Structure 1
Amino acid sequence: MRGLRLLRASAALLGCLGVLLLIGGTPAYAHTALKDATPAPGSTVGTGTSVIELIFAQLKPGTTPKVSLVGPDGTKVPVGQPTVADGSVTCAAVSPLQAGVNTLTYTVTATDGDTQTNAFQFQVADSAQAVTASAACKGLTLSAPVAATSASTEADDTILGLGRTTALIVLAAIAVVVVGGGLVAVRAVRGARPTGRRKAV
């Protein structure tokens, strides 16, 4: 019976932690989801593509996403200062792209102030057609591409690639699981020890 109670307590603990993660982490990803992009994730574009466009579900008013690009040889591709149009469309000029797999990384700020960093890849080919900017980006005066900032600067507001708030919740939940699991294991070991009884003389 004691072992059964310990198992039930452990299951209840894990269930509570699961609810905590769902409540604390899911909204942060939902309200700043990437709805569309040019180039799109997994797409193939021509080397003449000169503008990056990212469309988000929601962005915190007054904030501008950070955008960086790494070419197929591992070097950073110069990206201009991003500009936000219509409150959700982010546009940035890039230097001529190199053929191969390019990795685009973006950091956004949600309406609740939480920051998130994500990345996706797309293919660049000499034979492919260059994509053109949408009307939202064409109406903007975009800054010329400049050398990308260091990765350490871009990650100041993130922990393990997650927004600071979300990351702290996840780390706290992991700590509770480790401590709770240790206590359950100790109690289980103690409960399994045979209790010695003195023989009557």
Structure 2
Amino acid sequence: MRGLRLLRAPAALLGCLGVLLLSGGTPAYAHTALKDATPAPGSTVGTGTSVVELTFAQLQPGTTPKVSLIGPTGTVVPVGPPVVADGSVTCAAVSPLQTGVNTLTYTVTATDGDTQTNAFQYQVTDSARAATTPTACKGLTLAAPVTATSTDPDPDDTILGLGRTTALVVLMAVAVTVVGGGLVAVRRTRGTRPTGRRRATG
């Protein structure tokens, strides 16, 4: 029974580490549903579309969603810095879209501070009409599209202040060390345990 008690601590630690790793990448689905978008998910628009618009529910005041766009060949389509209008509408300028399936990814912060990252796709063709700029975006001054060049880790993709990959390696090393120490302790305990009673002499 003593051996079981020694193994409980490493097992509990591994469980906590697993919860930590899983919670680090778990999106909060409850509060920031996408209510509307231009281009809309699954829609077909022309290459002349110059603005993307996303309407959310209950964005945290003072926060601005992150928006990125990937073209059909896997290349990054430059997107300008997003601007929030009316507290829930996000607008951003985009460079001329590439024909084919484009993938738009967004990250938002809910009123309770939780973040959510989701994506959707839409088709771009030369023959289709360009999407009309939404009314909420027309009165905004949108900066020209830019390509992100920063190599700094995204704060939303960190664990305990470390990059996700680095943190995973560190946590796994700690887990292996703790478990290994627990097994050694068990073996030592078993090795020193009496194997039987001595016979009485005389």
**Shorter-chain TM-score: what band?**
0.5 to 0.7
Match of 1:12 in 2: 12
Deviations 1:147-191 (A, max 9, x none): 323252xx55x25x62x5xx2178499365444333333334434
Residues 37-116 of structure 1 correspond to what in structure 2 (within 5 A)? 37-40=37-40, 43-47=42-46, 48-108=48-108
**Could you tell me which amino acid in structure 2 is paired with residue 50 of structure 1?**
S
Deviation at 1:75, TM superposition (A): 3.4
Kept in 2, the 8 Å contact 1:39–1:122? The answer is no
Larger deviation, residues 83-92 vs 47-56: 47-56
**Could you tell me which amino acid in structure 1 is paired with residue 147 of structure 2?**
A
Question: 1:186 and 2:178 equivalent?
Answer: no
Give 2:160's match in structure 1, choosing from 134, 152, 168: 168
- Structure 2: stretches of 5+ with no match in the other structure: none
Structure 1 distance, partners of 2:111, 2:177, is: 34
Kept in 2, the 8 Å contact 1:61–1:111? The answer is yes
Match of 2:147 in 1: 148
Deviation at 1:91, TM superposition (A): 0.8
Structure 2 distance, partners of 1:87, 1:94, is: 21
Residues 123-138 of structure 1 correspond to what in structure 2 (within 5 A)? 123-126=122-125, 131-138=131-138
- Alignment CA distance shift 1:117-1:23 (3 Å): closer
Larger deviation, residues 169-178 vs 32-41: 169-178
Kept in 1, the 8 Å contact 2:59–2:88? The answer is yes
Match of 2:119 in 1: 120
Identity rate, percent: 53
Q: TM-score, normalised by structure 2?
A: 0.63
Counterpart of 1:96 in 2: which secondary structure? coil
Q: Provide the aligned C-alpha RMSD in A.
A: 4.3
- Alignment CA distance shift 1:150-1:102 (3 Å): farther
- Alignment CA distance shift 1:62-1:182 (3 Å): same
**Could you tell me which amino acid in structure 2 is paired with residue 122 of structure 1?**
Q
Counterpart of 2:122 in 1: which secondary structure? strand
Q: TM-score, normalised by structure 1?
A: 0.63
Structure 2 distance, partners of 1:5, 1:190, is: 14
Kept in 2, the 8 Å contact 1:33–1:57? The answer is yes
- Structure 1: stretches of 5+ with no match in the other structure: none
Structure 2 distance, partners of 1:184, 1:55, is: 52
